[in-house]
Amino acid sequence: MRRAAIIGLLALAACRQSSAPPHFVLGGARRQAVVSALDAAREAFNRGDCESIYEDASVPFRTLEDRQVWMDDCSHMRAKFGSWISFHMVSGDGQTGFQAHIDGTAIFARGEYKLCTTWTLAAGRARLISLYLQGLGTLVTSPPLRFPQRPLTDPPPNGPKTLT
């Protein structure tokens, strides 16, 4: 659960609107790898090939996102949003040489959505870690953000612990 929360926070961090300079601006081969992977995901989405998006994603994505849940969610997105027409990148940066963030606007047949994605980069290839899609009253996070099952309270539900 802790790893799921960390991945979820990474997804939200990818969608940040900070004026702080990134560790590196995504350019050259790294940028091309991510843009190519995003284009491939868009084409697969439009074909209804949600399975290939899942299979091409990173190990953390596939570990935290159940295959059948992804298939159901992807089919639901296709029905709700229509075809994915284009993506207009607003920013691209990375925190390390092995991770990248691409944020921008995804244009679907039924509207525009803010799309923030996080990718792993290895051997010239980008693999999806997470996506955050928001707009028109809709929020999609994949893998889903997971929070503790019970609300955090002070003091904890069983009372404070006393050391003896």
In a domain, 163, yes or no: no
- Could you tell me the pLDDT band of residue 92, with boundaries at 50, 70 and 90? confident
CA pair distance 57, 140, nearest whole angstrom: 17
In a domain, 162, yes or no: no
Q: Based on the structure, what is the number of domains in the chain?
A: 1
Output the CA torsion sign for 82, 113, 7, 97.
positive
The tens digit of pLDDT for each residue in 108-133 reads 999 999 999 999 998 889 999 999 99
Structure tokens at 159: 């009372």
In a domain, 41, yes or no: yes
In a domain, 61, yes or no: yes
Structure tokens at 59: 């190990």
In a domain, 119, yes or no: yes
List, in order, residues 6 or more apart from 25 with CB less than 8 Å away. 92, 93
Task: Sheet with 125-135: list strands edge to edge.
Answer: 24-25, 84-96, 99-108, 111-122, 125-135, 138-142
What predicted TM-score, i.e. pTM, was given to this entire model?
0.73
Quote the pLDDT of residue 107. Answer: 97
In a domain, 100, yes or no: yes
Residue 54 domain boundaries: 2-15+23-142
In a domain, 109, yes or no: yes
Most confident of 4-8, 50-54, 86-90, 132-136: 50-54
Identify the CA nearest to 21 among candidates 118, 69, 87, 93.
93
CATH, residue 104: 3.10.450.100
131: buried, middle or exposed (CB in 10 Å: 19+, 13-18, 0-12)?
buried
CA pair distance 72, 91, nearest whole angstrom: 29
